[in-house]
């Protein structure tokens, strides 16, 4: 099982209906199969996600954030991990809003090298 504890990620691509950008930084935490994160930057004032990591390292979670327009946005996501040649993780994500337009999209975030 992949351990996500204390890993930081940044968005490298997102669907046009998403709000996360390259300025958004995610800080992940993990205890057993429970995973949570905080994120902020770009058009996101502050957000959290809560979910579970599967035996294959994939993540299922819900997220919520307040954007720069002071809107409360919510959704759910499934992330599939890949290891980059330099050892960092890349997460390919399929998400859907449960607020606003209820649009779906895809994004990719990559671990930030220390």
What 3-state DSSP class applies to 74? strand
Mean pLDDT of 68-77: 98
**Neighbouring C-beta atoms of residue 99, cutoff 10 Å:** 11
Q: What does the pLDDT average to over 85-107?
A: 97
Task: Tell me the C-alpha distance between 16 and 38, whole Å.
Answer: 22
Q: Per-residue pLDDT for 49 more than 80? A: yes
> Which residue's entry shows tokens 């994004």?
107
Q: Euclidean distance between the first and final Cα of the chain, in Å?
A: 22
Q: Is pLDDT above 80 for 92?
A: yes
- Cβ neighbors of 72 (< 8 A, separation 6 or more) are 64, 65, 66, 99
């Amino acid at each position: 099982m992949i351990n996500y504890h204390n890993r930081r990620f940044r968005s490298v691509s997102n669907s046009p209906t998403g709000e996360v950008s390259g300025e958004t930084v995610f800080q992940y935490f993990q205890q057993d199969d429970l995973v949570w994160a905080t994120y902020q930057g770009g058009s996101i004032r502050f957000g959290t996600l809560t979910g579970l990591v599967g035996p294959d390292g994939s993540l299922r979670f819900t997220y919520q954030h307040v954007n720069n327009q002071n809107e409360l946005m919510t959704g759910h996501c499934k992330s599939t991990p890949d290891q980059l040649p330099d050892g960092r993780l890349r997460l390919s994500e399929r998400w859907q809003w449960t607020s606003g337009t209820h649009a779906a999209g895809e994004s990719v975030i990559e671990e930030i090298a220390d």
